[in-house]
A and B are shown apart, each in its own frame.
Chain A
Amino acid sequence: MSEPVRPYTLVAELTYKCPLRCVYCSNPLDYGRHARELDTATWLRVFREAEELGVVQLNLTGGEPLVRDDLEAIISEARRLDLYTNLITSGIPLRRERLARFRELGLDNVQISIQDTVPAASDRIAGLRSFDRKLEIAGWVKELGFPLTLNTVLHRENLDRVDEVVELAERLGADRLELANAQYVGWALTNRAALLPTREQLDRARAVAGEARRRLRGRMEVLFVTPDYYAEFPKACMDGWGRRFIVITPDGLVLPCHAAHTLPGLEFDSVTTRPLDEIWGDSPGFSAFRGEAWMPEPCRSCDRRELDFGGCRCQAFHLTGNAAATDPVCGLAPDHGLIETARQAAAEARPVPLVYRSSRAPAISPSASAT
């Protein structure tokens, strides 16, 4: 059955500012060059245009969305448009009264990130003392009657404590627990040697998550996202390029994924110069990898091409230099050796210093660190 192409989810990256400096941040390495931010009126217009296009889910994220002082206006308009609105936050710059106000204005869900269950380890990954504060804020979320999503990004330093993460999520009364392995693009690629787990770690953690999912069925949704370096096939990144998601950067670029503007040669439009429906329909960047015409072999004749859409374009580019290559995580990809080498390196454990997210791009480029 063919369904009309429409976006379901708008990911609004309201700002790249953030008090945390997580070593696997999904913001682009050069986010410091996109410091300009859309004003309130433009965001509200964009939400209206998105809803017209078919968007029903709105993720308010960043950076840290709470640093914007107009979240109240943003949440009100989202509610008026009947969008399901999810605030994705570190929780750090939050006052209880402000959260209570969000509840009155109709915010649907709050997602808080916890980096680890060991305070010092959590703070180390975040680059800021933040663990205790996060637990306090998660408590407010539940007290005020919000559904709570807890998100923990997994990597070699915390993967052996997934059981403790589940326990913490239960204690906090989370409605949804995202155990999301880092995906190695952006800052996580820069830090891959420090973060990529071993297969044994991953298998153990997956088993723990599976047990928790069965035990907590009906009470807490437990999601376990495999790092695609250990998957047999690539993930259906963003459910396919330009199929369901629209990401808008703080300065207004409209993208099919968080990192699409890191791909060279693609032209993306800004909400400040064109209406959203035109951009969705025919912006060159959106059209570039929509459908199958761009696909090389082995994707082009693969019977999985409608399942994974050739994988992640950003990963393909940052590992091979060619955004139109088959995602190297695929066992059938000509460049799959790059992934095998990274896995072997992960098996030979050795301490590597972390590179923290910073508005000054790191000295090592992602492609240099990937080899």
Chain B
Amino acid sequence: MDALSRPRLASKARLRFDRKSSRYMLLYPERGLVLNPTAADVLQRCDGERTVGSIVEELAQKYGHEPPVVEREVMDFLQTMADRGLVRTAV
């Protein structure tokens, strides 16, 4: 995973808004993750088109944080999700 990677959700994973918790969930076979708002913001942008760099830029702007801070967090999160097979990268 680097700034030029183009992450997308794995074919088995799907985002769904959950009315009960007012959070997004990432659903996959037999499991689901309740996402905090920033995690949902990242995953909603994993469309195989945007690069990690552009996702970072968008979120830095949205939250008014410095891009390097956002980059480290986004990268760590996406790597964790990739290790779990929930996010793939198209280069």
Contact = CB atoms under 8 A, between A and B. Distances in A.
Contacts of A37: none
A6 B18 CA distance: 12
Contacts of A147: 10-12, 29
A84 B16 contact: yes
B85 A108 contact: no
Interface stretch (A12-20, A23-31, A215-223): A215-223
B85 A86 contact: no
B65 to A, nearest CB: 27
A221 B85 CA distance: 7
Contact of A218 (B25, B29, B85): B85
A152 interface: no
A175 B32 contact: no
B83 A218 contact: yes
Contacts of A146: 11
A59 B32 CA distance: 14
Contacts, number: 56
Interface in B58-90: 82-85
A111 B85 CA distance: 17
Contact of B11 (A54, A145, A219): A145
A176 interface: yes
Given A56-B18, A82-B16, A147-B12, A109 B29 contact: yes
Contacts of A6: 20
Contacts of A4: 20
Interface residues on B, range: 10 to 19
A218 B27 contact: no
A123 to B, nearest CB: 26
A57 interface: yes
A111 B29 contact: yes
Contacts of A220: 85
Interface residues of A, number: 25
A115 interface: no
Chain A interface helix/strand/loop/mixed: loop
A109 B12 contact: yes
B32 A56 contact: yes
Contacts of B84: 218, 221
A158 interface: no
B84 to A, nearest CB: 7
A230 interface: no
Interface string A71-86: 0000000000010101
Given A56-B18, A218-B84, A8 B12 contact: no
Given A56-B25, A86-B30, A218-B83, 16 more contacts: A6-B20, A8-B32, A57-B27, A57-B30, A109-B12, A111-B29, A147-B11, A147-B12, A147-B29, A149-B29, A175-B85, A176-B12, A176-B29, A218-B85, A221-B84, A221-B85
11 contacts: A4-B20, A9-B30, A56-B18, A56-B27, A56-B32, A84-B29, A108-B27, A146-B11, A147-B12, A147-B29, A175-B12
Interface of B: 10-12, 14, 16, 18, 20, 25, 27-30, 32, 82-85
Interface of A: 4, 6, 8-9, 54, 56-57, 59, 82, 84, 86, 108-109, 111, 145-147, 149, 175-176, 217-221
